[in-house]
Amino acid sequence: MGNFRAFLSAPLVFLIFQSYLVCCDITDGNTEHLKREHSLMKPYQGVGSSPSSQWDFWGSTLVTSSYVRLTPDEKSKQGSIWNTVPCYLKDWEMHVQFKVHGSGKKNLHGDGLAVWYTKDRLHPGPVFGNQDQFLGLALFVDTFRNDLHGMDRSFPFISAMVNNGSVNYDHGKDGRSSELGGCSAEIRNREHDTYLAIRYSKGRLTVMIDVEDKNEWKECIDIGGVRLPTGYFFGASAATGDLSDNHDIISMKLYQLMVEHTPEEENLDWTKIEPSVSLLKSPKDNIDDPTGNFRGTPLTGWKVFLLLLCALLGIVVCAVVGAVVFQKRQERNKRFY
């Protein structure tokens, strides 16, 4: 009995429960649902060509059967592609599979691409091929350093911006004055495709990247206090200037996240929310799953191992608790006889 008690010491139980929780997060993929009306996938049938099409494109965008090229590797091109269906999901995760490649040597290529969740769609402009002073969320994959004073970060640089229509994107500073967070990522001229995941759930914006072809997300941005309405449009755009690159989108997959909201939250008119960020709120206020959902591929070896380990730990915990209860009962029974 003493052994059991030692085994059940608080730190160890905590550890077991912790690992159990971590494991459960990994299987979270079951609760996410692909929304086809907001997803762009090979072979892009019907994109732009029919009135019932769910995606429109503009500018230099070229749709082939295996990729959507927003710009070719040529000077002064701009292109975009936009979902025609407004999104009314409160909690979502967008996975973007993309490829930026070209003949330009290091630092002689540009300008980058952007992924959008905005009120307006198909409004060409100076911000990676889209309008400035937009309403909503932008995620920039900036491949060219404009700000020669900002040598503390390497490019390509990924950053996020939320705008209520009043702020200008400052190209000269690579958007630094309005960015909510960001990270550097070697996404260019890779042998494999690269991935971005943008999650918006319960006021928290999380951006993850997978650029090493290991099928693992790495956190890039994680901030709380972000307010975005429903009813906006998803899109992607890209631009070249004096320097260029092919900016290819392979797929954009939108998943609904199954998240419960309070009745008060449910009763709000989410379409009326103004895009904003309360910078006072620490991202650490929110402690739910920071690890991210893994993209929809079969379980890799280590994930299977972790799942088995969880199952095993679960059984061990049950067995130990069962044994303790049994022992207690025995002891009580003894006292009665």
When the beta carbons of 67 and 140 are compared against Ca ion, the nearer one is 140
C-alpha 146/C-alpha 227 separation (Å) is 29
Within 8 A by CB and 6+ apart from 257, the residues are 31, 32, 89, 91, 92, 93, 199, 201
- Between 146 and 230, CB nearer to Ca ion: 146
CB of residue 127 to Ca ion, shortest distance in Å? 11
Q: CA 160, 236, 76: angle at the middle one, nearest 5?
A: 100
Q: To the nearest whole angstrom, how small is the minimum distance from the Cβ of residue 206 to Ca ion? A: 23
- What is the CB neighbour count within 10 angstroms for residue 228? 22
CB closer to Ca ion, 149 vs 284: 149
Q: How far apart are CA 96 and CA 98, in angstroms?
A: 6
Q: Is 93 exposed, middle or buried (0-12, 13-18, 19+ CB in 10 A)?
A: buried
CB of 144 to Ca ion, least distance (A): 5
By beta-carbon proximity to Ca ion, the closer residue of 163 and 201 is 163
Residue 109 vs 204, nearer CB to Ca ion: 109
- How many angstroms separate the first and last alpha carbons of the chain? 20
For 78, what's the count of Cα atoms within 13 Å in the CB-facing half-sphere? 11
Q: State which H helix or E strand residue 16 sits in.
A: helix 10-26
- What is d(CA 203, CA 113) in angstroms, rounded to the nearest whole number? 25
Return all residues near 316 (Cβ < 8 A) that are at least 6 apart. 16
Name the minimum Å distance from CB 199 to Ca ion. Answer: 25
Binding site for Ca ion (CB under 5 A): 142, 144, 146, 174
Q: Least Å distance between CB 98 and Ca ion?
A: 17
Give min distance, CB of 171 to Ca ion, in A. Answer: 6
- Cβ-based nearer residue to Ca ion, 91 or 174: 174
Task: Please identify, using beta-carbon distances, which residue of 144 and 195 lies nearer to Ca ion.
Answer: 144
Shortest separation between residue 173's beta carbon and Ca ion, angstroms? 9
